[in-house]
Amino acid sequence: IVDGANGRIYLDPSEQDLASAHAHMAEQRALQERVSAQRGLPAITTDGVRIEVCANVNLPEQVPLALSQGAEGVGLMRTEFLFLERGSTPGEDEQYETYRAMAQALEGRPLIVRALDIGGDKQVAHLELPREDNPFLGVRGARLLLRRPDLLEPQMRALYRAACDGARLSVMFPMVTSVQELLALRAACERLRAELDAPVLPLGIMIEVPAAAVQADALARHADFFSIGTNDLTQYVLAMDRQNPQLAAEADSLHPAVLRMVRATVQGAATCARPVGVCGGLAGDPFGALLLAGLGVGELSMTPNDIAGVKAGLRGASLRQLQALADRALGCEDAAQVRELAKEVTA
């Protein structure tokens, strides 16, 4: 018996164990069917607060499935996949077609396109970037974009051209560490926008680096929105490689240190009334989503499969309850204690 939820394997189960596992599976299936039937409804808490629930989708042809799963938009389009899944760099025209098709498939729903996040775990052989001893701490994300206008400019031009055609989209930059980087990116975007006489697009940043979370108030003066990447934020807060299987159990996004960074981000954003979303894996975890809503996050973006469960959970609680839950989680000593709180809300 493989118990994926609890990370356990039972060898040589007895007839009785098998019968109880089958009963549990049937119960889970029934629950899933109930939850799934309501996936088209908005995630409104019992005290009337709506949390926007979007999908992480990389290609236009994946949009219909995401919408059928209850997505209200796309909160993260990882554009590096246009580069990673092939042996060459897509040109400006090809990117433009893709962004336009993405917006068309969404029929006016929100779309957040992430500018190229290359480096770290996302190595692109055909770009022939210099080898780094420590790629996660190296020239990745925004740091690469600022050094490589030949990557940033065609992408931004393609996005602005799509906007000229009426695509409703926002753009965000990955791995931003400082105000200076954000200002340099904004200046480059504004120059390209003016050249094309394109509409102004909301320009946001991902919060993935502890420095950005701690300085969220300063960044909020210059960013139109934040989207927290809990996958990277967790690895940088805990100094644990997200790809190291030996650390997988400890590199837990529910660690109170990570949650405190989320809180700092929300508080910083509030100083300039900037919206905060989360597009890392924690957003798609039913309990994680409740905590994030309680911490003040207003938009959650996840793998389409996770949407129904997250929406159902949010509809079953009041924001006041979730705020109290989040406060308790912030006071926990470790991720295990935070996980214990899940029993109270899901019981």
Give the nearest distance from C-beta 135 to Mg ion in angstroms.
Answer: 13
Q: Is 208 in the site for ligand PEP (CB under 6 A)?
A: yes
Give the nearest distance from C-beta 120 to ligand PEP in angstroms.
Answer: 7
How many Cβ atoms are within 10 Å of 339's Cβ, its own excluded? 14
- Which of 154, 277, 280, 309 forms a contact with ligand PEP (CB under 6 A)? 280
Written as six digits, the tokens of 2 are 């493989």
What angle is formed at CA 282 by the lines to CA 281 and CA 288, rounded to 5 degrees? 155
- Which of 232, 252, 299, 306 forms a contact with ligand PEP (CB under 6 A)? 232
- Which of 52, 181, 232, 306 forms a contact with Mg ion (CB under 5 A)? 232
Q: Is 279 in the site for ligand PEP (CB under 6 A)?
A: yes
3-state secondary structure of 339: helix
Written as six digits, the tokens of 147 are 């050094």
Q: Select from 204, 81, 77, 83 the least CA-distant residue to 150.
A: 83
Q: Which is nearer to ligand PEP, 198 or 223 (CB)?
A: 223
Give the nearest distance from C-beta 46 to ligand PEP in angstroms.
Answer: 29
Give the nearest distance from C-beta 279 to ligand PEP in angstroms.
Answer: 5
Which residue has 């994680």 as its token pair? 288
Q: Select from 88, 6, 1 the least CA-distant residue to 339.
A: 6
* The entry of Mg ion, ligand PEP, none that residue 230 binds, CB within 5 to 8 Å by partner kind: ligand PEP
Q: Which stretch binds ligand PEP (CB under 6 A): 194-202, 227-235, 303-311, 336-344?
A: 227-235
- Which of 229, 277, 288, 309 forms a contact with Mg ion (CB under 5 A)? 229
> Which residue type sits at 102?
M
Q: Which is nearer to ligand PEP, 229 or 294 (CB)?
A: 229
> Which residue type sits at 299?
E
Total residues interacting with ligand PEP, rule: CB under 6 A: 10
227: part of which helix (H) or strand (E)? Answer: strand 226-228
> Which residue type sits at 90?
P
Q: Is 120 in the site for Mg ion (CB under 5 A)?
A: no
Give the nearest distance from C-beta 78 to ligand PEP in angstroms.
Answer: 5
Kindly calculate the radius of gyration of the chain based on its CA atoms and give it in whole angstroms: 21
Give the separation between CA 277 and CA 225, rounded to whole angstroms.
Answer: 8
Q: Which is nearer to Mg ion, 155 or 235 (CB)?
A: 235
Give the nearest distance from C-beta 15 to Mg ion in angstroms.
Answer: 46
Give the nearest distance from C-beta 237 to Mg ion in angstroms.
Answer: 13
Q: Is 294 in the site for ligand PEP (CB under 6 A)?
A: no
Q: Select from 301, 229, 234, 227 the least CA-distant residue to 266.
A: 227
Q: Which is nearer to Mg ion, 208 or 306 (CB)?
A: 208
Q: What is the DSSP string of 126-182?
A: GG-PPP-SSGGGSS-THHHHHH-HHHHHHHHHHHHHHHHTT---EEEESS---HHHH
Give the nearest distance from C-beta 22 to ligand PEP in angstroms.
Answer: 35
Give the nearest distance from C-beta 56 to Mg ion in angstroms.
Answer: 11
- Which of 70, 154, 229, 284 forms a contact with ligand PEP (CB under 6 A)? 229
268 close to 216: Cβ distance less than 8 angstroms: yes
Pinpoint the alpha helices (H) of 2-128: 15-37, 63-68, 81-84, 92-106
Q: Is 306 in the site for Mg ion (CB under 5 A)?
A: no
Q: Is 306 in the site for ligand PEP (CB under 6 A)?
A: no
Q: Which residues bind Mg ion (CB under 5 A)?
A: 208, 229, 232
Q: Which residues bind ligand PEP (CB under 6 A)?
A: 76, 78, 117, 208, 229-232, 279-280
